[in-house]
Amino acid sequence: MTTVPTKDQILAALRGVKSPDLTDNIVSLGLVSEVVVQNGRVYFAISVDPARASEFEGLRKAAATVVEGLPGVESATVALTADREPGSARPAPVRGAPPGNGSGAPGSPAQGGFARPGAAREARHRPGGVPGVRHIVAVASGKGGVGKSTTAVNLALALKDLGLKVGILDADIYGPSMPRLLGLSGQPQQLAGNKLDPMRQYGLKVMSMGFLVDEDTPMIWRGPMVISALSQMLKDVAWGELDVLVVDMPPGTGDAQLTMAQQVPLAGAVIVSTPQDLALIDARKGLNMFKKVNVPVLGIVENMSTFLCPHCGGRSDIFGHGGAKAEAAKLGVPFLGEVPLTMSVRETSDDGKPILVSQPDSEVSSAYRDIAATAWAEIQRTSSAAKQAPKIVVES
C-alpha cells in the first residue's frame, strides 16, 4: 500500500516550483495556503498578484503536476486567489476555479453580485443536484455566536425523529463544529468511484472539514478554495438516499453563502437569531440575501429565547424575548419557534451528545421537534408549489 505524503513532503516538493519572476520558490515567498491531504487528495491555493493573474496559470498547473507526481497522491486541487486591487470595488479575478464558484466571473460571488435573477430558482429545478438527496436545507445566520450549529444538529436529529432519512453537512470551513457537537473523530473512508463515505452518528450521515484537518489547524484559504471544498463535500460524498440534507452554513453573507444559494438546489433556508436587536439586524441581512436569490425562507428560529435557571426553574430574558417572532411577522416569513437557553444545551453540545439524544423528553427537545415539524411542513408546501405546472387551456 502506497503511503500518502505528509504536508511537509508536499511543501518540500513545491519548493521546486519557481515564481514567474524566478526570485524564489512559491513556498519561500509565502504564496501557498494551508495544505490539506485527505485519502490521496491534496488541496491548496496559491496567492497571486491580481494584475499578473494570467502569468500564474502556468504556475498553477505546474504546482498541480508536481504534487500529483508524488507517490500516493491521486489528485491535486489547486486554485489561484487574488487580493482586492487598491481602490477597486470588487475583488480581482482569479483563475483555476470553476465558473460561478468565486472565480471572478461576472455575477459570481467573488464579484459581489448574483448570477442573474432567478438563478437559484432554476438551480432547484434543474438536474445535477446531489444524487439521492430530495431536499437540501440551509441553516444560516447573519452573524456568529447565535447557536446556529447547535440548532442545525438538533434540527437534523428532530427531522430524523419524524421518520426521515437525514444527513448534515458542516459547510463552515473555517470553524467546523460537527465533530465536536456529534462526538465524532477519525476520517471518512474512500469508496469506489473516488467517493467518500460519510461519517455516521445518532442515525445521521455527516460530513465536515473538521474530519479532514486537526481541530487546532487554521484554514488559511480564500474564497475559491473554500468553494471548491464545499462543492466536493457535496458532490463527492456517497450520501445515498436522503429525504433531507441539512447544511450548517458559515455565518454571514459571503462567497460560501452566495455560491450555495446559486449553485445548489436549495429547498429553503432556516434563519437562526437571538432576540436582541443587534442579532436581528444581521439576521435580516441573511434573510434578504436568500430572498434576492429566490431561495424560499422556511422561517426564523429564535434561539436563546429565554434563560431557564437550572436551580430555581425561573425564566430570565437575558437577550430579550420575542424579537425574532416580531421580525418574522414584519418580514412576512414563518416563525418556526423559540428555543430556551439552558445549561443542559451547552453541556450536552460540548460532550458531543446533543440534547435530543441525551435528554429527548426535555422542554428544549420538544421545542426542536416542533420547529422541525413546522419546517418540514414548509418544505413540502414550497416543493409542491414549485412543482405545479401552468394549466394550458385550448379553446376551439
**Residues sharing a CB contact under 8 Å with residue 275, sequence separation 6 or more, in sequence order:** 302, 304, 305, 317, 319, 320, 321, 322, 323, 324
Long-range contacts of 346-354 (CB under 8 A, 24+ apart): 349/150, 349/180, 349/181, 350/180, 351/183, 352/180, 352/181, 352/182, 352/183, 352/184, 353/183, 354/150, 354/153, 354/154, 354/157, 354/181, 354/182, 354/202
In this structure, the strands spanning 297-308 and 190-191 are unpaired
Q: Are 102 and 108 in contact (CB under 8 A)?
A: yes
Q: CA-based diameter of the chain, in Å?
A: 79
DSSP 328-340: HHHHT--EEEEEE
Burial class (CB in 10 A: 0-12, 13-18, 19+), 285: middle
DSSP 39-65: TTEEEEEEEE-GGGGGGGHHHHHHHHH
pLDDT higher than 70, residue 104: no
User: 3-class DSSP state for residue 299?
Assistant: strand
- Confidence at 107, pLDDT banded by 50, 70, 90: very low
Q: Are 280 and 143 in contact (CB under 8 A)?
A: no
Higher pLDDT, residue 262 or 203: 203
**Residues sharing a CB contact under 8 Å with residue 79, sequence separation 6 or more, in sequence order:** 45, 46, 60, 94, 96, 97, 222, 224, 225, 228
User: Which DSSP category does 209 fall into?
Assistant: G
pTM over 0.75: no
Q: Are 47 and 33 in contact (CB under 8 A)?
A: yes
Cell triple for 198: 460519510
Q: Are 44 and 36 in contact (CB under 8 A)?
A: yes
CA distances from 95 to 50, 56, 223, 311 (A): 10, 8, 12, 58
C-alpha angle 183/219/38, rounded to 5°? 65
Q: Are 263 and 116 in contact (CB under 8 A)?
A: no
Over range 51-72, report the average pLDDT: 83
pLDDT at 317: 59
pLDDT digits (tens, 9 = 90+) for 4-39: 888 899 999 999 888 777 678 888 888 888 788 877
**Closest by CA position to 138, among listed 121, 151, 119:** 151
Q: Are 218 and 142 in contact (CB under 8 A)?
A: no
Q: Are 115 and 107 in contact (CB under 8 A)?
A: yes
The kind and range of the H/E element at 368 are helix 363-387
Over range 167-175, report the average pLDDT: 88
pLDDT at 267: 92
Q: Are 145 and 273 in contact (CB under 8 A)?
A: no
pLDDT at 128: 45
Q: Are 190 and 238 in contact (CB under 8 A)?
A: no
Query: Which amino acid, 37?
Result: V
pLDDT higher than 60, residue 113: no
- Confidence at 82, pLDDT banded by 50, 70, 90: low
Over range 223-241, report the average pLDDT: 83
In this structure, the strands spanning 315-316 and 195-196 are unpaired
Which of 59-68, 82-91, 161-170 is modeled with the greatest confidence?
Answer: 161-170
